[in-house]
Structure 1
Amino acid sequence: MCVCFVFVTLSLSTMEFLTFRKITGAIWSIKSSSLESSSSSSSSLLNKCTRHQLSLSVSPTSRPRLATRKLNRFKVLSTSGDKETNVLEAKCIEEIYDALAERLLPVAATTSNLDSKYIVGLAGSPGAGKSTVASEVARRINMLWPQKAPAMDSLVEPFDIAVVLPMDGFHLYRHQLDAMENPEEAHARRGAPWTFDPARLLTFLKTLRSQGSVYVPSFNHGVGDPVEDDIFVSLQHKVVIVEGNYLLLEEGIWKEVSSVFNEKWFIEVDIDKAMERVLKRHISTGKYNQSPIFSFGLKRNICTPSSAIFQCGIICAQPRKPPDVAKWRIKYNDRPNAELINESKINADLVIRFMEVDASYLDLA
């Protein structure tokens, strides 16, 4: 009886043990599945968040390889006579950069002569992101070029074949504005077409065409004047991206400037959003030290902010523009300029259009 009892007890314990194993196994299976699902979900989310990040490895004798996506986002926007205008649009700014770089790489590959240049004119209103687009496209071209030119010696550091030439270096000097018939208006409207020197820009571009290299000025925003011979376009540069506000105008000498370009690009952006970015730029980095703006506003009865008028002595000593002064400048100068620039879009070969959901580029330089 005792043996039987022990046997029964042992049997029950074994059954309980087996049942316990089944239950715990099922629970563990559920937990594992849940963990795997959670891990998979987290991994998927991480992949989504980092899908545009690039993994680069750099060595002394080779450049990083740039990952790119094959895109076919260029389409015909309109046709006028023999002229076709293409449009490039994307929700992701990285796709814009990649597509533009891939567009220019074949041209660079077929440009064999050292003094031969493929010159792109990139225009758009203030705050459109011209400088950012130009520099990012040039950077990608320079990274991708070693992959497209396998004949290059792997032991030699590849040279840059793309360079950016900003139109800002062709601002008139402040002393030139002072010498104008109405210097106060000239300073107040600095940034308008007539406050640049397009004839000088044209001379430099023609020199680049004929000689293959040239030193060009940059612009020091802190000082407020050009810096001579600050940018060198060398013989090795095959692609030159000229970026500026008025490059596609077809009035006066601007038309001759526009005729130099092999391709004309225009960045299309909502003017209100562009002015928001310009406002931020004025407030955060805009050096304010030119009182002629205020006196010009008073003489012309322009609605200049009272704080700007009566506190000129204080404001002029500040390193940044106060918000009311910045808003006045946008209303009186930047926005009218932007409206004029937008009219030149019809002269572009390619319109670059950023989808509304991706306005992050507005925060870029």
Structure 2
Amino acid sequence: MQPVAEIAETISKRVLTLDGTDYPLQIGANDVSRVYLPLARLVREKSACVVPRRYVVGISGPPGAGKSVTATILAACLEELGTGAVVIPLDGFHYPNEYLRTHRGPDHAGEERSLADLKGWHPTFDVKRALDALEAVRAGQKVRLPVCSRVLHDPVEGGLSIEPSHQVVLVEGNYLFFREGLWNRLYELLDLTVFVTAPREVLIAQLRERHMRGGRSAREAEEKIRKVDEPNMDAILETRSRAEFVIEGVRGSLAMGRKQT
């Protein structure tokens, strides 16, 4: 087996991209060896015990915390260790924009609003479809899943294929640890849970950059953060206690620990 330092150096030099875009990830070998590789080794060990079904890792946290980054790097670590892994972003299970424009739901204060104005809040996801898909994936089936296009800002059918070689699936999304209704049933399908977070000012800065990179003006980005992202953030942070592991961003580096009981 390759030494940890050698694997970490290999991964840190790989060109990894985020969310199916060309946006590059930068990760230091030290963070790989301290945080990601130990977690990947644990996942690899546990996944061998559930064959022939797949092992499901749930990665949650507030918007801007780095869930997609964590999932992408963990998948790369698992591949380097010889275990097939795939990332399933929950964003692919958003209702289509046309549906959001023609339906209403409760906002963070319980008031009815157009779902289009709430996009990103949990009522804008088709959680029943996500639950059915994850049950099939967990059982070991070959499945094609929708993905969220960062260009169209809409789900695209069949954009992600879960293959027999994928023994580990890394599901990442904001509401995986919610207790309400079908969300709790989805949580119960997760074999291992990870919560990713960061200081609030870091989260806001990441969201601002993401929104503007996606085509929003500075004013539109701030409005999205104030009306949707920050209320979402507060609700999601309350689910942190349901995670077995917590990864915290501290001044650009990372720290990981088991949850406090």
1:163 is matched with which residue? Answer: 86
Pick one of 241, 245, 261 that aligns with 1:346: 241
Using the alignment, how far apart are the partners of 1:355 and 1:241 within structure 2?
A: 23
How far the C-alpha of 1:249 sits from its partner, in A, is 0.5
Pick one of 218, 225, 228 that aligns with 1:330: 225
Alignment pair present for 1:142 and 2:65? no
Using the alignment, how far apart are the partners of 2:44 and 2:139 within structure 1?
A: 22
How far the C-alpha of 1:53 sits from its partner, in A, is 6.9
Using the alignment, how far apart are the partners of 1:130 and 1:208 within structure 2?
A: 20
1:340 partner SS: helix
Pick one of 27, 45, 56 that aligns with 1:106: 45
2:21 is matched with which residue? Answer: none
CA contact (8 A) 2:57 2:190 kept: yes
How far the C-alpha of 1:55 sits from its partner, in A, is 5.5
CA contact (8 A) 1:117 1:238 kept: yes
CA contact (8 A) 1:111 1:238 kept: no
Go from structure 1 to structure 2 and tell me whether the alpha carbon gap of 1:54 and 1:341 turns closer, same or farther (over 3 Å shift). Answer: same
Q: Percent identity?
A: 29
1:30-71 deviation digits (Å, cap 9, x = unpaired): xxxxxxxxxxxxxxxxxxxx9997259xxxxxxx9xxxxxxx
Q: 1:26-175, aligned counterparts within 5 Å?
A: 54=9, 92-94=30-32, 95-113=34-52, 116-145=53-82, 161-175=84-98
Q: Over the residues paired in the alignment, what is the CA RMSD in angstroms? A: 2.5
Pick one of 177, 180, 201 that aligns with 1:251: 180
Bigger CA drift: 263-272 or 164-173? 263-272
Which runs of 5 or more residues in structure 2 are unaligned?
A: 15-28, 106-111, 255-261
CA contact (8 A) 1:93 1:354 kept: no
How far the C-alpha of 1:357 sits from its partner, in A, is 5.2
Which runs of 5 or more residues in structure 1 are unaligned?
A: 1-49, 57-63, 65-90, 146-159, 287-319, 360-365
Larger Rg: 1
How far the C-alpha of 1:356 sits from its partner, in A, is 3.1
How far the C-alpha of 1:340 sits from its partner, in A, is 0.5
Go from structure 1 to structure 2 and tell me whether the alpha carbon gap of 1:92 and 1:269 turns closer, same or farther (over 3 Å shift). Answer: farther
- TM-score of the superposed pair, with normalisation by structure 2: 0.80
Alignment pair present for 1:191 and 2:146? no
* Structure number having the greater strand percentage: 2
How far the C-alpha of 1:346 sits from its partner, in A, is 1.1
CA contact (8 A) 1:219 1:227 kept: yes
CA contact (8 A) 1:101 1:137 kept: yes
Q: 1:163-312, aligned counterparts within 5 Å?
A: 163-181=86-104, 185-283=114-212, 285-286=213-214
* Structure number having the greater helix percentage: 1
How far the C-alpha of 1:164 sits from its partner, in A, is 0.7
How far the C-alpha of 1:236 sits from its partner, in A, is 2.2
How far the C-alpha of 1:347 sits from its partner, in A, is 1.0
1:298-327 deviation digits (Å, cap 9, x = unpaired): xxxxxxxxxxxxxxxxxxxxxx22212211
1:232-283 deviation digits (Å, cap 9, x = unpaired): 1122211111000100001111111111111111112112211111001111
CA contact (8 A) 2:92 2:147 kept: yes
CA contact (8 A) 1:165 1:240 kept: yes
1:175-209 deviation digits (Å, cap 9, x = unpaired): 11122147973222110011111111001011223
1:54 partner SS: helix
1:249 partner SS: coil
Go from structure 1 to structure 2 and tell me whether the alpha carbon gap of 1:225 and 1:236 turns closer, same or farther (over 3 Å shift). Answer: same
Q: Give aligned pairs, total.
A: 227
